[in-house]
């Protein structure tokens, strides 16, 4: 059995199983399970509680949890983890190889003529979420995929849903993106610095993307993310949305929101650079 091992350095998420359990144990699970959700992918100290709200919202009876990552521009192929499992601090989480093979065969035929590729890269958009997925879904399989930021990612989500149906799998999908990356560190400061800038991200730029996402138009979501620089992994969001719509989910909800500026507490001076985070779910 080939295992994909931790690639992110210490600090992204706990290395110790008891620390992971302690972090997540106090978080409630919703009684109404979501068919798909969106989570941020920063270090747990910044966005872990928000990401966990999304992961915990998914159907606890899922046979396979699909984590869709991003950081891929349009024109690149979808990337799949080819290993048999992931070595999480909570133990090994097995990949759904049958589902992976089916989806890999379907995508080039229907939406990605350039094919798919193996994800051999260190990237946080999937890995940082796996320990919490493993905690909430200890008996489930995992599928690791990253999708490019283009409309074809929305169709990939639909293909994923139909592939799961053909295998009689109950799938849950977690799409991974952060929101506005603001400040000198990201070369994006349209509102200057300080409280004015933070308020604009919290009250205007991030809410505008969230509202567009909940409206459910994939073309407009992609346009909004590009125009406002309000999402870093739009392909992952579109994949989750495509799955949700194919599954009949017609109601979206914002589950949690925050920014990395919140990590220092209410009395901390607004940092020069910060990032927005949101958890959302789609329900039937």
The pLDDT tens digits for 108-141 are: 877 788 889 999 999 999 999 999 999 999 999 9
In angstroms, rounded to a whole number, what is the distance separating the alpha carbons of residues 56 and 24?
A: 9
The pair of three-digit structure tokens given for residue 30, joined into one six-digit string: 């919703």
- What mean pLDDT is predicted for residues 15-37? 90
Q: Is the pLDDT of residue 99 over 80?
A: yes
pLDDT at 80 over 80: yes
What domains can you pick out in the chain, each with its CATH number? 29-283 (3.40.830.10)
- Please state, in angstroms and as integers, the Cα–Cα distance from residue 230 to each residue in 48, 126, 209, following that order: 19, 19, 6
Structure tokens at 107: 């995508």
Mean pLDDT of 71-95: 96
Distance, in Å, from the CA atom of 119 to the CA atom of 71, rounded to the nearest integer, reads 12
pLDDT reported for residue 30: 73
| Burial grade of 266 (CB within 10 A; 0-12, 13-18, 19 or more) | exposed
Encode pLDDT of 186-244 as tens digits. Answer: 999 999 999 999 999 999 999 999 999 999 999 999 999 999 999 999 999 999 999 99
Q: How many CA atoms lie within 13 A of 21 on its CB side?
A: 7
Q: Cβ distance 119 to 81 under 8 Å?
A: yes
Which pLDDT value is given to residue 169?
97
Per-residue pLDDT at 114: 81
Residues in the chain: 284
* Spatial separation of the C-alpha atoms in residues 91 and 198, rounded to whole Å: 39
Closest CA to 58 of 37, 76, 80: 37
What distance lies between CA 60 and its chain's CA centroid?
17
Q: How confident is the model at residue 265 (pLDDT cuts 50, 70, 90)?
A: confident
Side-chain half-sphere of 261: how many Cα atoms within 13 Å? 24
pLDDT digits (tens, 9 = 90+) for 144-186: 999 999 999 999 999 999 999 999 999 999 999 999 999 999 9
Q: What does the pLDDT read at residue 112?
A: 86
Q: What sign does the dihedral 235-239-245-249 (CA atoms) show?
A: negative
220: phi then psi, degrees, rounded to nearest 5: -70, -35
**Residue 1 pLDDT exceeds 90:** no
Is the confidence at residue 279, as pLDDT, over 90?
A: yes
Residue identified by tokens 């308020």 is: 199
266 has pLDDT over 80: no
């Amino acid at each position: 059995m080939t295992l994909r091992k931790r690639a992110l350095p210490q600090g992204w998420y706990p290395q110790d199983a008891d620390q992971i359990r302690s972090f997540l144990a106090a978080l409630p699970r919703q009684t109404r399970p979501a068919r798909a959700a969106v989570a941020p992918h920063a270090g747990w100290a910044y966005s872990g509680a928000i990401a966990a709200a999304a992961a915990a919202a998914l159907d606890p009876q899922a046979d396979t949890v699909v984590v869709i990552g991003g950081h891929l521009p349009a024109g690149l192929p979808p990337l799949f983890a080819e290993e048999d499992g992931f070595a999480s601090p909570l133990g090994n989480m097995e990949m759904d190889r049958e589902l992976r093979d089916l989806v890999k065969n379907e995508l080039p035929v229907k939406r990605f003529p350039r094919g798919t590729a193996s994800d051999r890269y260190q990237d946080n958009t999937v890995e940082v979420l796996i320990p919490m997925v493993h905690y909430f879904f200890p008996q489930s399989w995992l599928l690791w995929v990253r999708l490019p930021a283009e409309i074809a990612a929305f169709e990939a989500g639909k293909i994923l849903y139909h592939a799961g149906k053909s295998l009689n799998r109950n799938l849950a999908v977690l799409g991974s993106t952060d929101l506005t990356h603001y400040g000198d560190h990201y070369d994006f400061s349209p509102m200057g610095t300080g409280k004015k800038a933070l308020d604009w991200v919290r009250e205007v730029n991030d809410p505008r993307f969230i509202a567009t996402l909940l409206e459910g138009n994939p073309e407009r979501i992609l346009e909004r993310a590009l125009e406002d620089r309000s999402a870093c992994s739009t392909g992952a969001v579109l994949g989750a949305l495509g799955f949700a719509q194919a599954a009949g989910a017609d109601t979206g909800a914002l589950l949690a929101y925050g920014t990395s500026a919140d990590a220092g507490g209410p009395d901390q001076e607004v940092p020069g650079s910060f990032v927005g985070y949101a958890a959302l779910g789609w329900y039937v």
